[in-house]
Amino acid sequence: MELLVLPGDGIGPEIVAAAIRVLQTVNEKYDLSIDLDYDDVGFTSLEKHGTTLRDELLQRAKSYDGIILGPQSHMDYPPPAEGGINISASFRVKLDLYANIRPARARDFLERGAPGMDLVIVRELTEGFYADRNMYKGWAELMPTEDMAISLRKITRQACERIARRAFEVAEERRQKVTAVHKANCFHITCGLFLEEVRKVAAEYPHVMLEEQIVDATAALLVRDPTQFDVLVTTNLFGDILSDLASELSGSIGLAGALMAGDNLAAAQAQHGSAPDIAGQNVANPTSMILSVAMLVEWLGKRKSDDRLLNAGKEMVESVDRVLADPTLRTRDIGGSAHTDEFATHVASNIQKAQSREA
């Protein structure tokens, strides 16, 4: 297998290197035969090639088994006409990585977050209110006058059907409950279409419970008692906001892994941003990136029906938890003093120790 590694901006190179350190450990332990191919995106690519994302690289990405994508500082990029391409949006739309899988799980030993919280948000990625990705040609925002701005929302049956199907597949392996999050009391047509498709898919999974919840009520209920949720499925913008809320409720957005997945390709991407204010200081928490890579490894394991990959991904997650359980080994954002590379070394060493115990 060959993975494409794109370190990205800000803390991206540091946390990606940390995740690769852990990946290489399970690669050796389980004899996974994973090879890595590195390339540039973001500001490094802009300086070298005049664009943050080359068309050639985007097309070549389709040939890999998976992608590891570091954070990007796209808010600081120049306009698209000057080479400032939104990398995540391009990967999601042009590679059809339509499903964003974002688990949020509290860890009681951290003494922070909502006790007992364990849920997954399944977010659609290719349309919705995102003006840079929901039109075949042109931009989905416009200003008819200097005092008026309009943004268009696109919702399609195909996108709703397939994201609903991914959510029910996830729920089958968990507690068999799906919550469809919407705002159909205001967006009668668009959220109404979303709910129609969710209900159609739900009929194929009679053993999975379906509930429907308005998005603002969902936010309130997440704060009050997130343990009532299992799998939440929703459209792009709602999923973006709720998954960040859920991650903070679980302890920190820095502890939240994420996967962008299509039918034939997936990309590991940390849920948080590029944090340029601490870039290069070796203090960033790499947990989110490590867990995202673990999700990619497990995704590959399911796709290839390979228990080695499945076990390797699970061990990456378990080793992260064992390291986090020791307050002296945590990074400074969650009360410790470990540096980025030190944290990765601790996780890798934990995997190696487990191998010695098994032997």
What six digits make up the tokens of 169? 């597949």
| Type of residue at 310 | L
132 is catalytic: no
Which of 183, 205, 230, 321 is an active site residue?
183
Q: How far is CA 345 from the centre of its chain?
A: 23
Q: Which two tokens stand for residue 40?
A: 């540039």
Residue pair 175/212 in contact (Cβ under 8 Å)? The answer is no
Distances (CA, A) of 158 to 28, 37, 99, 126: 40, 33, 13, 11
**Residue 331, strand partner residues:** 338
**Catalytic residue status for 244:** yes
Q: Which residues of 7-24 are buried (b: 16+ CB within 10 A; e: fewer)?
A: bbbbbbbbbbbbbbbbbe
Selected catalytic residue, list 96, 244, 333, 341? 244
Judged by DSSP in three states, 89 sits in: helix
Runs of H (alpha helix) within the chain: 12-29, 43-49, 55-60, 87-94, 157-172, 190-202, 215-224, 236-249, 287-304, 307-324, 340-358
Q: Are strands 99-105 and 118-124 parallel, antiparallel or unpaired?
A: antiparallel
Catalytic residue status for 333: no
Using alpha carbons, select from 58, 67, 6 the residue that is nearest to residue 268: 67
Q: What tokens were used for 239?
A: 């999923």
Question: Taking a C-beta distance cutoff of 8 angstroms, is the pair 261, 101 a contact?
Answer: yes
CA distance 214 to 309: 38
Enter the tokens of residue 331.
């990074």
Query: Which member of 76, 216, 263, 326 is catalytic?
Result: 216
User: 188-194 — which CB contacts under 8 Å span 24+ positions?
Assistant: 190/153, 190/155, 191/155, 191/235, 193/155, 193/156, 193/157, 193/160, 194/155, 194/160, 194/235
Question: Is 230 an annotated catalytic residue?
Answer: no
Q: How long is the chain? A: 359
Instruction: DSSP letter for 234, please.
Output: E
Residue 130 among the catalytic residues: yes
Residues forming the active site: 130, 183, 216, 240, 244
